[in-house]
Amino acid sequence: MITEKNNCRKISAMYDYDIIIVGGGPAGFFASLAARENRPEYRILILEKGSQPLSKVRISGGGRCNITHACYDPAALVTYYPRGSKELRGPFTRFQPRDTVAWFEEHCVRFKTEADGRIFPVTDRSETIVDCLLSEAQQKDIHLHTRRGVKSIIPTGEGFSLMTTDAGALTAYKVLLAAGGGSQSAYRMATDLGHSIVPPVASLFTFNISDARLEGLAGISLPEVEVSLFHNTRASAKKSGQISAKGALLITHWGLSGPAVLSLSSWGARQLAECGYQAELRINWLPPNTPESMFHLMQKVKENHPRRHANKQDPSGRLPARLWQRLVSAAGIGPTQAWNEISNKLLRQLADELTRGEYFIHGKGVFKEEFVTCGGVLLKEVNFKTMESRLRPGLHFAGEILDIDGLTGGFNFQAAWTTGWLAGQGMAKEKG
C-alpha cells in the first residue's frame, strides 16, 4: 500500500525540482530557507533574472538595510500597511519583527534599534544581510541561477513547466512567484494562471512643488508637521477622504520629502496616480495648532510685545527663522511691521499660512532608498495561512508581487520576511 506522503514524493520525483522560486529577492530567499528547514530532502531552485540576487536588500536604507521595525504587537503592526493590513493580521501572529530579528541573530547577525524604531545590522552594511542569506542558501544546498528569468509557467499534471529566458525548460512540483513589485512578466504569468492583478502604481515618493514660499529653503527640516492631501476636483477630494499624515518633513530643491510626505504618498498612492500627481497639499507647520488657536496665540503676543517686529518672533518657538519669515511675508505682513501694526485680518491670514497653507503638487519625485509598488496579485485569491493560490494548487506567492505595501521604516521588508516564511512553510507541506 502506498501512503499519501510517499505518493506525493513519487509524484515530485517526476519533476526537475520540488520547488522553483521565481525571484531572488528577500521573500524568495527566505521562503527557500523556510522550506529547507522543514524539508532537507527537497530539491530547491531560485531563478533570478538579474545578475545579482537580493539587489533591493543591497541598496535599502542607503546601503544600511533597514531590515524591520521594532513594533512587536501584530495589531499595531498592521496599521503601517495601507494595503494588506487585514490579510497580514494573522500572518504577523505567526512571524513578526521579533521573529525576524531572532532568525538572523541565530545566524550570527547582530542588530541595533534606532530611536524611531528602525532596526539595522550593527555593521550598518546591507552586505551583512545579503552575505547571511547567500551563505545559508549555499550551506543548505539551495540552487541559484542568476541571469535566468522565466517567460511562462504552464501547469502540467500535479506540477508546472517553466520556460526560462535562456530557452531552457524546467519542471517543478511547486512554484513560488516572488518576483517583486512592478514586474510585468510576473504579473502576466500570474494572470495566465488565472489570477487578477490590481493595477500597480508607485508608492513612497516625494512631492515636486514649485512655490515661492519654499524657494531657497532646501535643507530645512522640521521634526513634526501634518500634511493633508486634497485633489483638484470636489469628486476626487471626497473620494480621497482628505488623507493626512504626520511626521518629520524636509524641504528640498524640488519640493518636499521626509517621513510625513512619504507616508502621505503611500496612503494616497492610488488617488494621486488617478489624478496624474496633480493635487493640492495642505500643511500644518505647527500641529496640533488650529487656525483659531494660532490666532489667539498671536493676539497674546501682540498684547504683550506690541513693538516687536513680527518677522523676528515665532510665537511657537518651533519654526526655523527663514521659514517663519517666508510665511509671515506670504501672509502679507511687511518685514518691519510690529505686532501692534498688524490687523486681526492679517493675523488670521498668518494663522492660516501656519496651520493650513495650500501648496500645489505638480508631480512625484523619487525616494531613492525605496522602490515600492501599490498593487499586485488580488489578495482574496491567496490563502494567507500558506501563501498558496486559491485558484491553482501548488502555486504560491510572497513579497511585493502581492497587493501589499507598507510605510517606510522596515515595514515592506517585514512583509517580505513574513510572507516568504509562510510560503516556505506552506510549500514544505505535502499535498493531500
pLDDT, position 237 = 41
Q: How far from chain centre, in Å, is Cα 113?
A: 19
Q: What is the pLDDT of residue 181?
A: 85
What is d(CA 162, CA 20) in angstroms, rounded to the nearest whole number?
9
Which cell is 280 given? 493640492
In terms of pLDDT, which residue wins out, 1 or 103?
A: 103
H or E element, residue 304: helix 291-304
pLDDT at 344 over 70: yes
* Residue 366 pLDDT grade (very low, low, confident, very high; cuts 50, 70, 90): confident
* Mean pLDDT of all residues in 92-110: 98
Q: Give the span between the Cα atoms of 427 and 413, in whole angstroms.
A: 21
Average pLDDT over residues 85-89: 98
Residue 276, classified by CB atoms within 10 Å of its CB into exposed (0-12), middle (13-18) or buried (19+), is: exposed
Q: Is the peptide bond before 288 cis (omega within 30 degrees of 0)?
A: yes
Taking residues 328-337, report their average pLDDT.
96
Interacting residues of 159 by C-beta distance below 8 A, sequence separation 6+: 11, 12, 14, 15, 171, 172, 173, 174, 394
Nearest CA-CA partner of 204 in 65, 416, 364: 364
Give pLDDT, residue 431: 55
Q: What is the 3-state secondary structure (H, E, C) of 373-421?
A: EEEEECHHHEECCCCEECCCCCEEECHHHECCECCCCCHHHHHHHHHHH
Query: pLDDT tens, 396-425?
Result: 999 999 999 999 999 999 999 999 999 999
Whether 3 shows a pLDDT value over 80: the answer reads no
Contacts of 130 (CB under 8 A, 6+ apart): 54, 57, 58
User: Who has greater pLDDT, 104 or 238?
Assistant: 104
Residue 9 in this model has a pLDDT that exceeds 90? no
Q: What is the per-residue pLDDT for 5?
A: 56
Average of per-residue pLDDT values in the chain: 93
Closest CA to 385 of 148, 160, 91, 10: 91
Backbone angles phi, psi at 182, to 5 degrees: 80, 5
When computed from its CA atoms, the radius of gyration of the chain, rounded to whole angstroms, is 26
For 131-185, the pLDDT digits (tens) are 999 999 999 999 999 999 999 999 998 999 999 999 889 999 999 999 988 889 9
Give the C-alpha separation, 37 to 15, whole Å: 21
pLDDT of residue 11: 62
Residue 80 burial (CB count, 10 A)? 21
Q: Has residue 235 got a pLDDT over 60?
A: no
Question: What residue ranges do the domains of the chain occupy?
Answer: 4-202+371-427, 205-366
Expressed in angstroms, the distance from the first to the final Cα of the chain is: 16
* Strand pairing report for 207-208 and 255-257: antiparallel
Identify which of 174, 152, 179 has the alpha carbon closest to the alpha carbon of residue 25: 179
CA 114/CA 259 separation, integer angstroms: 15
CB neighbour class for 76 (10 Å; exposed up to 12, middle 13-18, buried from 19) = exposed
Q: Which three cell numbers stand for residue 29?
A: 530567499
CATH numeric code, 4-202+371-427: 3.50.50.60
- Per residue in 250-287, pLDDT tens? 999 999 999 999 999 999 999 999 999 999 999 999 99
Q: Over pLDDT 90: what percentage of the chain?
A: 88
Residue 432 has pLDDT above 60, yes or no: no
Question: What is the per-residue pLDDT for 7?
Answer: 58
Do β-strands 388-389 and 255-257 pair in parallel, antiparallel, or remain unpaired?
unpaired
Q: Where residue 371 falls among pLDDT bands split at 50, 70, 90?
A: confident
* Mean pLDDT, rounded, for 236-242: 50
